[in-house]
Amino acid sequence: MNSPASDASRLARLGWNQLFADAFAGIGESDLEPARVSIEHNHLFRVYTASAELLASVAGRLMHSASEPSALPSVGDWVAIRNNSDGPAQIRKILPRKTCFSRKAAGDETKRQVIASNIDTVFLVSGLDHEFNSKRIERYLVATKDSGAKPVIVLNKGDVEKNPTTFLDELKSIAPDISVHVTSCVDNRGIDELGHYLLDGETVALLGSSGVGKSSLINRLLGYDRQSTQTVRVRDSRGRHTTVHRELLVHPTSGVIIDTPGMRELRLWDTSESLDATFDDLSALAEQCRFRDCLHDTEPGCAVKAAVNQGQISGSRLAHYQKLRSEQTQLDHRRLKLAQLREKKSTKQGSRRH
């Protein structure tokens, strides 16, 4: 029989801490045990407990009370399960998320999709080939800061680009305070440096487009070939999605890694504050604008436009900020309209009952 001390040690290695312990204790049901979601497929989950790896499904009450997909379990979540001897365990509760990386659900204008939760560090992976795009990295930075996790930029395929100075200088101009690592899975360049983030009980997630080498990086970090990999087309560096599902992997000696499929599109969710934090140079200048609601377009007395005209800030950086701000404003308007429609519908239903 496992001792309570050994069970606690295994949970701690998975990322369990006092925050989750207090939330779990508040449930007050003695027949439940904590578990962490490793993978989800067609509403069936694989979870890690203190002593086992189990299959689990969502309890009917939790399923029916979920107002949208983000209220259901996601990879990285800590959950309270009831173990069943004759079938899958039941996920009864989702513990409050410490951090949560989200995006606007693809094809839906008003729903949030959780990519992964309870992440400590996010590796934003780009390739030093045709795939490199600083504006895409800016978008990922905004979403990562909104999640509460620490962003780290990883420029993979260092064997393709022998002199990455231009890329590093470009990143320094848009993200001067973010750590950047150049890596190569061909000659293992930079892999040891990435391994320093895999501390015991810490969770690292890899995010990026298809073909940037996330699965290869994970294999190097794990020390064995756990994730399948595929070659990419030389002419445009594009590849098929090697990783199909988000998955939490336990490192052999320390830390937890979350692998994610390549995302063709990352539409931001509720990121107003993190947008200003990512573009803090623009936000600081905006304080000097004549009008508090300046859009930095044609308004007189705009300090941001003046800085662009003087070459202090690039016009493309301002244009990308305005694009992201416009996306957020449009999404906010759609969410407000939907909330008003729901309230109106609820009011009508209430009137009929009376």
DSSP string, 74-134: -TT-EEEEE--TTS-EEEEEEPPPS-EEEEEPTT-SS-EEEEEES-SEEEEEEESSTT--H
**Are residues 90 and 104 part of one domain?**
no
**Are residues 247 and 105 part of one domain?**
yes
Q: Please report whether residue 208 resides in a domain.
A: yes
**Are residues 119 and 191 part of one domain?**
yes
**Are residues 104 and 60 part of one domain?**
no
Q: Please report whether residue 341 resides in a domain.
A: yes
Question: Between 134-147 and 315-353, two packed helices, what is the crossing angle to 10 degrees?
Answer: 40
**Are residues 243 and 116 part of one domain?**
yes
**Are residues 185 and 229 part of one domain?**
yes
Q: Which of 71, 94, 117 is the last residue of a domain?
A: 94
Instruction: Work out the burial of residue 195: count CB atoms within 10 Å of its CB; fewer than 13 is exposed, 13-18 middle, 19 or more buried.
Output: middle
Q: Please report whether residue 273 resides in a domain.
A: no
Instruction: Provide the CATH number for the domain around residue 328.
Output: 1.10.40.50
Whole-number pLDDT of residue 339: 72
Q: Please report whether residue 267 resides in a domain.
A: no
Whole-number pLDDT of residue 69: 83
Whole-number pLDDT of residue 78: 98
**Are residues 196 and 66 part of one domain?**
no
* Alpha carbon distances (Å) from 9 to 6, 17, 32, 48: 5, 10, 19, 13
Residue 17 burial (CB count, 10 A)? 13
Q: Which of 105, 103, 99, 106 lies closest to 122 in space, CA to CA?
A: 99
Domain range holding 19? 4-94
Could you tell me how many residues make up the chain? 354
**Are residues 138 and 87 part of one domain?**
no
**Are residues 245 and 117 part of one domain?**
yes
Q: Please report whether residue 179 resides in a domain.
A: yes
**Are residues 319 and 173 part of one domain?**
no
CA-to-CA distance for 309 and 315, rounded, in angstroms?
Answer: 8
Q: Which residues of the chain have pLDDT under 50?
A: 1, 232-241
**Are residues 85 and 44 part of one domain?**
yes
How many Cα atoms sit within 13 Å of 33 on the Cβ side?
18
Structurally, how many domains does the chain consist of?
3
Are the CB atoms for 62 and 79 separated by under 8 Å?
no
Record the pTM.
Answer: 0.85
For 275-314, letters b (16+ CB in 10 Å) and e give: bbebbebbeebbeebeeeebebeeeeebbbbebbeeeebe
Residue 174 phi/psi, 5° resolution?
A: -105, -20
* Alpha carbon distances (Å) from 353 to 65, 349, 350: 22, 6, 5
Q: Which of 76, 104, 52 lies closest to 247 in space, CA to CA?
A: 76
Q: Please report whether residue 270 resides in a domain.
A: no
Whole-number pLDDT of residue 14: 96
**Are residues 321 and 287 part of one domain?**
yes
